[in-house]
Every structure is written in structure tokens, then in C-alpha cells.
Amino acid sequence: MGRLTTLAGVREDAGMGAHGDLSWLEAITEQARGLGRPSREQALAVLAAEEDVLLDVVAAAARVRRAFFANRVKLNYLVNMKSGLCGEDCSYCSQRRGPSTGVLRYSWLDPEAAAKEAEMAAERGAKRVCLVASGRGPTERDLDRVSSTIAAVRARRPELEVCVCVGILGPGQAESLRCAGADAYNHNLNTAESRYGQICTTHGFSERVSTVRSAADAGLSPCSGVIVGMGETDEEIVDVAFRLRELEPESVPVNFLMPFPGTPLAGRNDLTPAKCLLVLAMFRFVFPDVEVRIAGGREMHLRSLQPLGLHIANSIFLGDYLTSEGAPAQDDLQMIADAGFVVEGPGESTLPPHRRPAVPALRRRGPGSELPSNA
């Protein structure tokens, strides 16, 4: 028998198989389909589920995913505008200060070079381009560079969503990015507040929270997620998920640690494909109607179970990551098709109707038109 978990005062066996009592899982699923959120105990039970109920958990999360996102997969593409050269000491990051990790190091890409990358990604089905630069946060000159890059992307592919990720934002900087044409801003919380000092000492958790809030207040779509596999406990994974929920992001990237040589977390490999699926399922239950994205580490940690991840998450990155290589785009497109999914098109809304802002219906009848008035 598996580990016992208490849910709503009832002892349930979290390790029971398909013939056991899975009423706890059905309860979480129906809550999520009705836009309810799991309790802390329920979220922990998902993470603690044993492998003989893994497919039951995946199937339950898939019901939630299908309810709000049907069979669509949103494709995102990363453009690393400035690589390495970062003064922060984030333990997980290959671009951190300190010993060389062997990654490419270069200063700002020319805006046209970045726009060409975005255009290539759009041709392969990407709906969003994520413009990323290493560093603590942008200077005003950096913001000018980013603004020029957004303009270059818009000139080539006006239909692309543009997300920016350039670190901790100062006063007025989120507004500047919005005015420049950015649609979204990414700044991950990464891990629980109680653990944050163990993975970074050059900035604090509160600065990350305030940046996500600043982006949302400026009218940018907030994108914020996590990195799993850094030695955190299940309780800490739930802590950061629930803290994220308070910030109401519209997209939640779930990264799995890439243990780059030369970083303090080099050699760490705590994750299994099954654990990664449970983590994704927990985030789906916590964020039933929000874009959940399988982000960095997908190929390394999910491995042959990547197609199952698509039944939980509705979004992935296409191609390479910031400093590591991903799968060839054609392989990912084939995986999506083989699993019975379709790529989300530029004219389709990612979020379900109840999450979209109300837009007035423009008058097309009456005076000034050839149609009779709606009287």
C-alpha cells in the first residue's frame, strides 16, 4: 500500500491503483473543471501519487486541459538577445557570474537579426516570440534596444505575440515596454520564498513578485512560473504554485532543472519522467484555465513521455532554449500531430472566453453603412 494522505478529513491511499478508490482525484478534477482550485492537501496528494495511478492522474488533468483548451498546442519561441555576461548568482543559471559554463557569450543582437529569428519561428507555427536578455534588469539604453527589436519583429510578423524577459523592472519600465508594443512580460518566481535564499543571494524573492505585479499593472500579460528539480520538497513546490496563483498569471512556464556544468547545481538529477508529469498535473489543477507551458528541460526529463505532457499542458517552446539545444522543430510538430493535437493558429485566442477582456462590438449597420439600423 502507498503513503497515506488525509484529504478533507478522510484517509485515502495515495498509492492505490486503478482498482482502488480514486474519489480524491475525481474531486480535484471536477473542482478544476468548475474553476475551483485544489486545497493544499489535494495538491500535495497529486505530487505524492505513485506510479500505478500515474495514468489516472494524467487522464484527470487531461480532462481539465481539454475543457478549456480543447486539442490546441500553443508554440512559443525564445530569442536570446544577450547571452551570458550576467552579474547575478542564480544557482541554476548557465549565464550566472563565476566560473565559465561554456555557453555562448555575446552582447545585444542587432534588432533585425532577432526579428529574422522570430520570422523563422513564425513560419514553423510559433504564435509567441519571447525576447530574453541576461542581467539583473534593464537600463534605459537596454529598453531602447528592446523597443527597436519589438518594432523590427512587428514589421516582419505583426501577428506574433511579443513577450519580453529582461529581469527585474524599475519604476515606469513596464509601461515603457507596453508602449513599445510588448504584449506580455515573463519573470519567473522559480521556487518557494522560503527556499529562495538558497538558490540566489544577489536579489530577493520579493523583487520578483513586485516585477510580475508591475507588468500586470502596466497592461502586460503576466507570465511567471517555476523551476523544479533544485532539491525542493513537494511542500515547497506547492508553496510556489499557490504564491503564483495569488499573482494571477496568464501563462505559467514549468521548467525542469538543466544541471549545467560549472553551476552550483551541476550533476543534480532528482527528477523522473513520472515525477515531471505529476508536477505538470498539479499545476494544471491549480491553474485550470491558464496557459501551462512545458518549458526548459522537457527533452531531458520527460524523454519518451513528452507526448503525455501535451495532454496536461497546452503550450511548449519550439526549437532551442536560451543556452541549450532543443529538439528540431519538425520533430516537435510531428509529436504534436501524432498525439492528436493541432498547433494553435495566430487568429485563435489562447485563453478561454471567460478570461478574455470584454471588447465592444463595432457598429457596422445604420448611418454610414448600407445595412438598416438595429432598431
Catalytic residue check, 293: yes
Question: Which of these is catalytic: 65, 72, 293, 298?
Answer: 293
Report the C-alpha gap between 263 and 267 in whole angstroms: 9
Beta carbons of 188 and 227 less than 8 angstroms apart: yes
Question: Which of these is catalytic: 65, 86, 96, 284?
Answer: 86
Helices (H) and strands (E) in the chain, counts: 12, 12
Catalytic residue check, 276: no
Catalytic residue check, 86: yes
Report residue 346 as a C-alpha cell: 495566430
Q: What are phi and psi of 343, to 5 degrees?
A: -75, 130
192 beta partners = none
State the DSSP string of 254-306.
Answer: EEE----TTSTTTT-----HHHHHHHHHHHHHHSTTSEEEE-TTIIIIIGGGH
Catalytic residue check, 223: yes
Question: Which of these is catalytic: 163, 165, 200, 276?
Answer: 163
Looking from the CA of 167 toward its CB, the CA atoms found within 13 Å total: 22
Question: Which of these is catalytic: 165, 200, 223, 276?
Answer: 223
DSSP classification of residue 328? -
Dmax (CA) of the chain: 74
Question: Which of these is catalytic: 65, 72, 90, 298?
Answer: 90
CB atoms near residue 175 (< 10 Å): 16
Report the C-alpha gap between 337 and 346 in whole angstroms: 18
DSSP-derived 3-state class of residue 230? coil
Packing angle of the helix pair 54-69, 273-286 (nearest 10 deg): 40
Q: What's the Cα-to-Cα distance from 242 to each of 40, 44, 67, 236, 249, rounded to whole Å? A: 8, 12, 22, 10, 11
Catalytic residue check, 33: no
Report the C-alpha gap between 217 and 158 in whole angstroms: 24
Beta carbons of 279 and 294 less than 8 angstroms apart: no
Which value, to the nearest 10 degrees, does the dihedral of the CA atoms of residues 183, 188, 193, 196 take?
A: -140
Question: Which of these is catalytic: 93, 165, 200, 276?
Answer: 93
Beta carbons of 80 and 62 less than 8 angstroms apart: no
Question: Which of these is catalytic: 128, 130, 157, 298?
Answer: 130
Which residues carry out catalysis? 86, 90, 93, 130, 163, 223, 293
